[in-house]
Amino acid sequence: MAERLTLVGPLIPVDRSGAWSRAYTTHATIEGVATPVVVRVGSHLDDFAKDALASGWQRPGLPVPPAYAILPVDDQFAMVTGRRYGLFLEDLDAAAWGRALPLVFDAIDALRQIPLEVTVPTMVDAAGLVLPFDPDIVGDAKPWREWLTDLQDDPRGRGGGWAPRLAASPTGDRSFHAGLEFLGELMDGVEPPRSFVHSDLLHGNVLVSQHGSQLHGVFDWGCLFAGDYLYDIAWLDFWSPWHPALATHDVRARATERFAATDPLADLFDLRLRACAVHIGLCHLAYFAFVDNPDQIAAADRRLAQYDGRAGA
């Protein structure tokens, strides 16, 4: 593999690395060509396997950087992908968000057209590693309602140990358990078509042009799963209060206008989006408990109340 890819130059830390990996920019010589790359280092090979999978989906409207290699680094792994440039989506002003939202919707639409297959492109060199792909890695082995409501604390798993911390927080865990029950009731008998979902289209994972008129990169696919494509829309809707410029737009109304004509379950559009938002809220009560952030637990709980019936949603 050293004949195909060689890292050259210093590793420069990226300001916004992910929660589960550290990102660096550098250059690499790839088959004799000098190429700007991003190197992400982390412990979770399954995240990088998803990046490798998604690298084969590059198409108009869905600018996924190419993946070149997954390398073992001591007791961790490194993912080498092509570098993209631009502004982070969440840094846009309100006017630029107005231009960017249709492009993000186009990317979501392109993603839902991709067959639910888990074949990693042959261009990705896994350096002798066996990539951990099976139906469970993308959640396609369970019915949608079962997948949504399978939120159990596994102390041995990633992010485990959150349940006692949530219970002991000032917010407590009552709304978590009530929300989980509400979610099960809401989705009883509902099984939307499944497609790939990015599930993290903020937080430094999407690059756009300065004025929001072009999408330059969609990356960090570690949260990828197979579900209702409305999850990616619910993600933007749920987190909009954290991003005032985004909050000036009615994400739900604009998404309904964009997708209703092509959605086979358009009559359940609002219900399904609401269910996705409830799931996002529940997951982040757990996550913020795991990282011991009581202020964000409270904020996520207040936002969850807009969807789970407590605020008359």
Q: At what angle do helices 251-259 and 269-290 cross, to 10 degrees?
A: 130
Is 5-82 in CATH node 3.30.200.20? Answer: yes
Indicate if 88-117+131-304 has the same CATH topology as 5-82: no
- 229, 117 in Cβ contact below 8 A? no
pTM across the whole model: 0.94
Q: What is the rounded distance in angstroms from the CA atom of residue 238 to the CA atom of residue 35?
A: 37
User: DSSP string spanning 24-88?
Assistant: EEEEEEETTEEEEEEEEEES-HHHHHHHHHHGGG-BTTB-PPPEEEEEEETTEEEEEEE---SEE
User: What per-residue confidence (pLDDT) applies to 3?
Assistant: 52
Domain spans, the chain: 5-82, 88-117+131-304
User: What per-residue confidence (pLDDT) applies to 225?
Assistant: 94
88-117+131-304 CATH fold: Aminoglycoside 3'-phosphotransferase; Chain: A, domain 2 (3.90.1200)
- 50, 254 in Cβ contact below 8 A? no
Tokens representing 41 are 């280092």
User: What per-residue confidence (pLDDT) applies to 1?
Assistant: 44
Tokens representing 205 are 């994972």
- 102, 115 in Cβ contact below 8 A? no
User: What per-residue confidence (pLDDT) applies to 134?
Assistant: 66
pLDDT in tens, the chain (313 residues): 445 678 888 999 998 777 889 999 999 998 888 999 999 999 999 899 899 999 999 999 999 999 999 988 889 999 999 999 999 999 999 999 999 999 999 999 999 999 988 777 777 777 767 776 666 677 777 899 999 999 999 999 999 999 999 999 999 999 999 999 999 999 999 999 999 999 999 999 999 999 999 999 999 999 999 999 999 999 999 999 999 999 999 999 999 999 999 999 999 999 999 999 999 999 999 999 999 999 999 999 999 999 998 775 5
Residue labelled with tokens 């079962």: 146
What letter does residue 125 receive in the DSSP assignment? B
Vertex 85: Cα angle to 38 and 214 (nearest 5): 135
Residue 104 sits at φ, ψ, to 5 deg, of: -65, -40
User: What per-residue confidence (pLDDT) applies to 296?
Assistant: 98
Question: Which residues are 35's β-sheet partners?
Answer: 28
Q: What is the rounded distance in angstroms from the CA atom of residue 198 to the CA atom of residue 227?
A: 10
User: What per-residue confidence (pLDDT) applies to 18?
Assistant: 77
User: What per-residue confidence (pLDDT) applies to 6?
Assistant: 85
- 267, 235 in Cβ contact below 8 A? no
H helices of the chain, in order, are 45-54, 94-112, 135-138, 144-149, 162-168, 174-186, 230-239, 244-247, 251-259, 269-290, 294-304
